[in-house]
């Protein structure tokens, strides 16, 4: 397996993380973010969440701060678009992304999977592609009731410490979600283990992404 080092010549990459709801970025690519900060400490992060009520917004902000604690440079923005109604306010969300693009030119964009069954996730993915036209975009996965997981094609290996931190940070910060039966350590660890098996991860675990286009 050829291993790709995305940051070989760029030790100050600009990384954009987009999530429809509080906790999406953390669930989809939290381990990868932790690994990037460890390996490329000068990375510059822009972290944007597009919805949340008062409580959820606080959780999102605190969780982002914890995940990005050791990042040299970061900006965290939480918008207040109405959850579950994104397709009906798409124009305003698109305006927000266009504004973001004028402010921050990312080397990597993490966004939702384009075939994600949640309408908010799907819209953010679609607007990501239509706003960032010359960028490297990785789509993360969010396990859910809809059963919309597909076969990813890009893997980021994680070790036990990344996994431990990712899960602890999620469970400690998103306390409003604890009543959801799926919001458990088991859920978060099991998908990482499966993706680890698929990518032959030496430390058992991996996050996985859908990469539509890669240019060498
Ligand atoms: Zn979500």
Spatial CA neighbour of 158 closest among 149, 166, 170: 166
Distance 211 CA to ligand 1 centre (A): 20
Q: Tell me the C-alpha distance between 149 and 146, whole Å.
A: 9
Q: Each residue of 51-76: pLDDT tens digit? A: 999 999 999 999 999 999 999 999 99
Tokens, residue 159: 């070790």
Spatial CA neighbour of 28 closest among 57, 75, 58, 63: 63
Tokens, residue 4: 């790709």
Distance 84 CA to ligand 1 centre (A): 9
Residue 3 has a pLDDT of 85
Residue 111 has a pLDDT of 98
Helix (H) or strand (E) holding 81: strand 73-81
- Taking a 5 Å cut-off on Cβ, the residues next to ion ligand 1 are 20-21, 24
Return the residue matching tokens 């069954």: 117
Tokens, residue 143: 């396990």
Residue 8 has a pLDDT of 79
Residue 102 has a pLDDT of 97
Number of Cα atoms under 13 Å in the Cβ half of residue 55:
5
Per-residue pLDDT of the chain (216 residues; tens, 9 = 90+): 888 888 878 899 999 999 999 999 999 999 999 999 999 999 999 999 999 999 999 999 999 999 999 999 999 999 999 999 999 999 999 999 999 999 999 999 999 999 999 999 999 999 999 999 999 999 999 999 999 999 999 999 999 999 999 999 999 999 999 999 999 999 999 999 999 999 999 999 999 999 999 988
Q: Which letter does DSSP use for residue 114 in this model?
A: T
Distance 77 CA to ligand 1 centre (A): 16
């Amino acid at each position: 397996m050829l291993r790709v080092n995305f940051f070989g010549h760029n030790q100050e990459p600009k990384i954009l993380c987009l999530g429809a709801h509080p906790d999406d970025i953390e669930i989809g690519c939290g381990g990868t973010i932790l690994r990037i900060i460890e390996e490329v400490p000068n990375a510059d992060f822009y972290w944007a969440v597009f919805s949340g009520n008062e409580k959820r917004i606080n959780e999102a902000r605190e969780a982002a701060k914890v995940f990005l604690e050791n990042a040299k440079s970061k900006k965290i923005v939480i918008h207040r678009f109405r959850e579950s109604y994104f397709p009906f306010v798409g124009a305003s969300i698109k305006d927000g992304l266009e504004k973001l693009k004028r402010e921050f030119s990312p080397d990597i964009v993490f966004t939702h999977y384009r075939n994600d069954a949640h309408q908010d996730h799907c819209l953010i993915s679609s607007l990501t592609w239509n706003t960032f036209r010359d960028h490297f975009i990785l789509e993360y996965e969010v396990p859910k009731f809809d059963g919309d997981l597909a076969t990813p094609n890009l893997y980021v290996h994680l070790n036990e410490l990344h996994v431990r931190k990712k899960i602890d940070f999620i469970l400690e910060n998103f306390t409003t979600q604890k009543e959801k039966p799926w919001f458990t350590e088991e859920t978060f660890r099991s998908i990482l283990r499966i993706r680890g098996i698929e990518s032959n991860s030496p430390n058992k675990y991996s996050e996985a992404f859908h990469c539509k286009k890669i240019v060498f």
